[in-house]
Structure 1
Amino acid sequence: MSDRTTHTELPPQAVFAQLLFGKQLTYSLSGVARLGVADHMGKTARPVEELAAKTGAHAPSLYRVMRMLASLGVFREGPKRHFALTPVGELLKTDAPISLRYMAIMFGEEFSTRAYAHFTDCLRTGGDGVTKAYGKDIWQVLAEHPAQCEVFQQAMTANSSASVPAIVEAYDFTGIKRIADVGGGHGLLLGSILRGYPAMKGVLFDRPEVVGSLPKTAFAGLEGRVAVEGGSFFERVPDDCDAYIMKHIIHDWDDDHCRTILRLMREKLPKNGRVLVCDMVVGDDPDPTPAKMLDIEMLVMTVGGKERTEAEFAELFASSGLKLNRIVATAPTARPVAVIEAVPA
């Protein structure tokens, strides 16, 4: 570490001030992501005036934002008013192997910012900020705003590009003949599983407007092995599957809604079937973790959604005719997930 004052050496008021400035950091990352600034950058520093001209930005304002982000390791400044990408900044490039550009854009989208304007109401009532802002839940809002829905789907797909390989590497899918990816978005997880297990077939199941925007190349090379179905997982799940997998779905909903989904799966499962929930697990230790941060996002953005502890998962499964069998940890990522395996009780 450099000779700068460490976090633990700062007086309490300075630590508190740093925490409060999280808003400036989030909006700065979202703004430069939306403008596509990183797409015009590389390891060689470019003048901020050039970057502003290419992205339609106001050069003096862009400089102030990039100077701040450089102080936190997103960019590297040198010579003065010239910026290059760091490994962290590379994640803002659209074509990066693991791109978080759309994730950054999403955090500045209207549906997010309007929801967080009602944060105190969430604390007072336990309700979500989206419903307070729009009079409807996040899924209804996204369905009515295609452009924001597309940003959301792009963000989820990009986030999956980091977590999916870790899931496929950590969990042994051997023995599954037909798996349904419920709420599977654009199919990155399902496609990755099928490519690793050539004898397996799969079903991608999500809302009609989601599967209707499925990229044509989503299942390239898997022709004849994938079915695509549109529908609501509160009403039905695909038939003839011996496994159901859900990534970042259960955490979107309260226990009653989750039980509806899980019971539908339980009704369809053969006796040797499995339900695989890919979510974070909140530990008992007091240290800061991504799960605790994401839990606040669920508080504000969803109706009753949350990150759960191992005990909460076990209770949820037990009330749905299932039992928690094991939790398989995956390699650390920006949003480390575990594969939480449930089997018929």
Structure 2
Amino acid sequence: MTDRPAQAALPPPLVMMQLLFGKQLTYSLSGVARLGVADQMDGTAKPVEEIAGKVGAHAPSLYRVMRMLASLGVFKEGPPRSFALTPVGEVLKTDAPGSVRYMAMMFGEEFSTRAYEHIADCLRTGGDGVTEAYGKDIWAVLAERPEQCETFQRAMTNSTAGAADAIVEVYDFSSIERLADVGGGHGLLLASILRRNPKLQGVLYDRPEVVASVPKTTFAGCEGRIGIEAGSFFERVPDGCDAYMMKHIIHDWSDEHCRTILRLMRDKLPKNGRVLICEMVVGDEPGPTPAKMLDIEMLVMTVGGRERTAEEFGALFAASGLRLNRVVPTARPVCVIEAVPA
């Protein structure tokens, strides 16, 4: 037998080019998600012309994108010019378990792409790309764009769907009497918690334009135990709760903004109350992590938002009359960060 030589490492310029081609990957995924390509596919290969006809696409162009995505395991090509879904591609289907279709669409939305045009300005000034592009923050931009706002909310629901089961598996909500999900979007996480805890009362709290579009089926089976309130968490939070929860809210805001929100909660909490922050925690490991990647999204898209270390969460709580009690990891990158009155 002849030993085959070990594959040589790629030279640095080619490694860098692989990193730079992330743009083509992200926008291709966003494009096929927006067209609903995966919704027309299954595990059996279909000709690209058939898929293109169903989604209103130009078949030769769609083929080129699907060929590239097949090389990365999103689709499987064979026979030639025919594609089937892989388990990875399956999550681009609208109703698939763990779907990220709307997340992929959001990454290609105008408000996102225009913001990233200004990343060099973000690095120079510490400002955000959305304000550079539009002269207003992301929330003001979305409030003026109902369709893009709906895509954003559905993307957040995609994110929550993946994390909700992981959160309820590791955190015991049974001793809570009334839980407010502050900035809770369409309520998927709160609904999951209520179904697991039949004695628990819940309040979904978010901006008026958000709660107005909560699907009627979200809280099916929770009738009589759920209230929905509209408002700004910079002005007030719901009354009568012994626990407040926020998932991927604190990371949207500067420390100053976060202290305002947390102090409003602290003022309402009973002595045995708690605040639950469901977010990623930046660790000290040197390799790539989801938290480090998401931190760049916060840098570009929000005014002062960031992913934080456990120590930074502790300092934020201490400045708001709270104390970091524990960090509960889950099977997903998100953790449950528990704070109690100081």
Structure 1 length-normalised TM? 0.97
Residue 250 of structure 1 aligns with which residue? 250
Tell me the SS of whatever aligns to 1:291: helix
1:218 Cα offset (Å): 1.2
2:339 aligned with 1:342, yes or no?
A: yes
Deviations 1:184-230 (A, max 9, x none): 00100111111111111010000011001111111111111001000
Residue number in structure 2 paired with 1:187: 187
Structure 2 equivalent of residue 61 of structure 1: 61
Residue of structure 1 equivalent to 2:214: 214
Amino acid at match of 1:182: V
The residue aligned with 1:19 is 19
Q: Which SS does the other structure have where 1:343 is aligned?
A: strand
Residue type matched to 2:67 in 1? R
Structure 1 residue 158: Cα displacement: 1.1
Per-residue CA deviations over 1:30-74 (Å, capped at 9, x if unaligned) read 000000011111111001111111111111111110000000000
Q: Specify every segment of 5 or more residues in structure 1 that has no aligned partner in the other structure, as ranges.
A: none
Letter in 1 for 2:337: I
TM-fit CA distance, 1:285: 1.2
Query: Who is 1:307 aligned against?
Result: 307
**What's the secondary structure of 1:282's corresponding residue?**
coil
1:151 deviation in Å?
Answer: 0.3
Per the alignment, residue 85 of structure 1 pairs with 85
Equivalences for residues 164-183 of structure 1 within 5 A: 164-183=164-183
Structure-1 separation of matches of 2:66 and 2:158? 23
Once residues 65 and 163 of structure 1 are traced to their aligned partners in structure 2, the CA distance between those partners, rounded to angstroms, is 30
CA distance in 2, matches of 1:78, 1:266: 59
Q: Which amino acid aligns with 2:178?
A: R
The structural deviation recorded for 1:244 is 0.3
Return the alpha-carbon distance in structure 2 between the equivalents of residues 297 and 125 of structure 1: 16
> Which whole-Å CA distance do the structure 2 matches of 1:229 and 1:64 have between them?
47
Q: Which amino acid aligns with 1:221?
A: G
Q: Could you say what secondary structure the match of 1:173 adopts?
A: coil
Deviation at 1:92, TM superposition (A): 0.5
Q: Distance in 2 between matches of 1:56 and 1:151?
A: 20
Aligned to 1:239: 239
Q: Output the CA distance in 2 between the equivalents of 1:271 and 1:9.
A: 59
Residue type at the aligned position of 2:81 = R
Structure-to-structure mapping, 1:1-345, within 5 angstroms: 9-332=9-332, 336-345=333-342
- What one-letter code is carried by the residue in structure 2 that aligns with 1:114? R
Shift of 1:9: 2.1
Q: Distance in 2 between matches of 1:161 and 1:214?
A: 15
Give the whole-Å Cα distance in 2 for the aligned partners of 1:174 and 1:195. 11
RMSD between superposed Cα atoms in Å: 1.1
Residue deviations 1:80-138 (CA, integer Å, cap 9, x gap): 10000000000111110111110000000000001001110000001000001011100
Q: CA deviation at 1:173?
A: 1.0
Give the Cα–Cα distance (whole angstroms) in 2 for the partners of residues 95 and 310 of structure 1. Answer: 35
| Percent identity over paired residues | 76
Aligned to 2:154, what secondary structure does the other structure show? helix
Ranges of 4+ aligned residues in structure 1 off by more than 2 Å: none
C-alpha separation in 2, matches of 1:289 and 1:138: 25
Query: Which whole-Å CA distance do the structure 2 matches of 1:213 and 1:163 have between them?
Result: 21
Query: Residue type of the partner of 1:262?
Result: L
The alignment's TM-score, normalised by the length of structure 2, stands at: 0.97
Question: Equivalent residue of 2:189, what SS?
Answer: helix
Q: Give the partner amino acid of 2:202.
A: G
Letter in 1 for 2:301: M
Q: How many pairs are equivalent?
A: 338
The separation in 2 between residues aligned to 1:119 and 1:46, in whole angstroms, is 40
Structure 1 counterpart of 2:303, which letter? V
1:9 is paired with a residue whose SS is: coil
